[in-house]
């Protein structure tokens, strides 16, 4: 009886940084016309986690912010609102921009993904002299492109929250005071602009780890992206820039049992049939289980000390070598070209590496490595009794792509 030995070395490229996605904080060093939208993915679940600080209206209306993305906008202005004017633009008037696609690009490798941003709700604090009944937003209804959600008023100021009816293509929202005669002009000052926004983002499971940034700028003026109607003065900026930051930090861990660095290839039922009956083995085989944690894409390939054609090889002391196929099986949460990974042969060149995608986070699931010398090659080895075949194979699991 002889032994067939094969050394297996695992050289792993670990994904060290935590995984992304999302967007940074509103920095006090940013100019008054910039806001940062941020999110992150840290290897759990299938979606990004919002990391943008909530808008100020969430303190007053927390029930309308739970589980939603909100942010404050540094837009202030004064407005002369004409009570129940025939032209809605002369009333208290707000029109926000339509949905916009923003490309976010990896700062490490230049890969780009689209993100769709839309305005879903708006809130402002509107100061006006006198009774709350003279404040144009102290109402429980509003025509145009918004629906009423909340309004809170005390003499001199009111905070409201309106839902945008059509975030893809909003139209103007407008309102007038319930008190005062038609045509009464109310001087207002607007602060604490906040929005609820929607982000349609790519799946972080398919994104390579790293920081992704993008930017878009909205104009602020009559007829522009942000339009506050007629009679606007003291507008603090003519533009608003939104910076997007998505941080993707995948988990990637492989755990091999002790002894996995050495694979002894044998017939599935051992060597007794050959020793006692002279029956040639159908194949020489070994499996190694391992545990895997993964939440993003990765690739796998091999490097060989010696090879035969496109396969790694094991060789005896007389220089005779035979090919060994090394294959991989992975949990169903990981796919290759959209299909499950079951005994998929591993290529020997990095340029031919297998690329795997995640359907969901894979946490402490089992995979397997399969080593096999086919029947015809096992038969050739029997011509060299008493020799040992061995070889080194480096398996590369690359989560950096």
> What is the total residue count of the chain?
401
- The rounded distance, in Å, linking the Cα atoms of 187 and 79 is 6
Secondary structure (3-state) at 58: helix
Q: DSSP readout, 127-191?
A: E-SS-GGGSTT--S---BSEEEEEEEEETTEEEEEEEES-TTS---EEE--SSS-TT-EEEEEEE
Torsions phi, psi of 267, nearest 5? -60, 150
How many Cβ atoms from other residues are within 10 Å of residue 231's Cβ? 20
Closest CA to 215 of 240, 244, 237: 244
- The rounded distance, in Å, linking the Cα atoms of 284 and 371 is 8
Residue that the structure tokens 């993707």 belong to: 248
Alpha-carbon Rg for the chain in angstroms: 32
Q: For the segment 101-143, what is each residue's pLDDT rounded down to a tens digit?
A: 999 999 998 999 999 999 999 999 999 999 999 999 999 988 8
Q: Where are the domains of the chain?
A: 4-15+252-398, 34-248
Predicted confidence at residue 85, as pLDDT, reads 97
Distance (Å) of CA 103 to CA 20, 113, 114, 117, 140: 15, 6, 4, 11, 38
CB neighbour list of residue 276: distance below 8 Å, 6 or more residues apart: none
Pairing outcome for strands 392-398 and 4-13: parallel
Dihedral sign for Cα atoms in the order 229, 234, 238, 241: negative
Closest CA to 61 of 225, 192, 235, 222: 192
Secondary structure tally for the chain: helices H, strands E: 3, 28
Q: For the segment 338-378, what is each residue's pLDDT rounded down to a tens digit?
A: 999 999 999 999 999 999 999 989 999 999 999 999 999 99
Instruction: Give the H or E element holding residue 59.
Output: helix 57-60
- The rounded distance, in Å, linking the Cα atoms of 80 and 189 is 9
**E runs forming strands in 18-86:** 34-41, 49-50, 69-73, 77-82
Q: DSSP readout, 2-22?
A: --EEEEEEEEEE---S-B---
Distance (Å) of CA 23 to CA 38, 69, 99, 202, 382: 1, 11, 18, 14, 63
pTM beyond 0.85: the answer is no
Per run of 10 residues, the mean pLDDT along the chain (length 401 residues) is 31 28 32 84 88 96 94 97 97 98 95 97 97 94 92 95 97 94 96 97 90 97 97 96 95 92 90 76 93 94 92 95 97 96 96 94 95 93 92 92 65
Distance (Å) of CA 327 to CA 181, 290, 311: 82, 13, 11
Secondary structure (3-state) at 379: helix
Predicted confidence at residue 401, as pLDDT, reads 65
Residue 207 token pair: 């994104």
8 Å CB contact between 82 and 91 = yes
8 Å CB contact between 347 and 354 = yes
Architecture, CATH, for domain 4-15+252-398: Sandwich (2.60)
Q: What is the dihedral of CA 277, 281, 284, 290, to 10 degrees?
A: -80
């Amino acid at each position: 009886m002889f032994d067939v030995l094969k050394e297996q070395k695992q050289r792993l490229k670990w994904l060290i940084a935590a995984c992304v996605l999302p967007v940074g904080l509103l920095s006090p060093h940013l100019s008054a016309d910039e806001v940062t939208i941020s999110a992150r993915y840290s290897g759990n679940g299938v979606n990004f986690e919002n990391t943008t600080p909530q808008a100020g209206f969430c303190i007053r209306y927390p029930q309308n912010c739970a589980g939603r993305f909100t942010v404050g906008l540094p837009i202030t202005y004064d407005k002369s609102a004409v009570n129940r004017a025939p032209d809605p633009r002369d009333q208290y008037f707000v029109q926000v921009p339509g949905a916009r696609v923003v490309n976010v690009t990896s700062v490490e490798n230049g890969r780009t993904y689209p993100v769709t941003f839309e305005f879903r709700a708006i809130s402002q604090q509107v100061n006006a002299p006198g009774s709350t009944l003279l404040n144009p937003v102290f109402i429980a209804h509003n025509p145009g492109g918004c629906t009423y959600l909340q309004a809170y008023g005390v003499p001199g100021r009111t905070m409201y929250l309106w839902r945008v009816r059509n975030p893809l293509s909003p139209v103007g929202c407008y309102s007038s005071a319930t008190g005062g005669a038609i045509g009464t002009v109310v001087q207002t000052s607007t602060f604490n602009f906040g929005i609820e926004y929607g982000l349609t983002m790519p799946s972080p499971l398919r994104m390579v780890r790293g920081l992704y940034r993008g930017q878009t700028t909205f104009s602020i003026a009559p007829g522009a992206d942000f339009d506050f109607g007629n009679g606007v003065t003291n507008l603090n900026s003519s533009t608003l820039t939104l910076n997007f930051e998505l941080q993707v930090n995948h988990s990637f861990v492989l755990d091999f049992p002790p002894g996995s660095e050495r694979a002894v290839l044998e017939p599935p039922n051992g060597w007794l049939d050959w020793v006692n009956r002279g029956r040639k083995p159908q194949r020489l085989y070994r499996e190694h289980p391992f545990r895997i944690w993964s939440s993003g894409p990765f690739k796998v390939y091999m490097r060989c000390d010696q090879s035969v054609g496109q396969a790694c090889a094991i060789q005896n002391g007389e220089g005779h070598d035979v090919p060994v196929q090394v294959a991989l099986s992975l949990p169903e949460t990981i796919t290759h070209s959209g299909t499950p990974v079951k005994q998929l042969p591993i290529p020997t060149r990095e340029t031919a590496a297998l690329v795997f995608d995640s359907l969901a986070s894979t946490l402490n699931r089992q995979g397997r490595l399969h080593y096999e010398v086919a029947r015809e090659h096992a038969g050739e080895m029997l011509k060299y009794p008493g020799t040992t075949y061995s070889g080194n194979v480096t398996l590369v699991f690359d989560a950096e792509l």
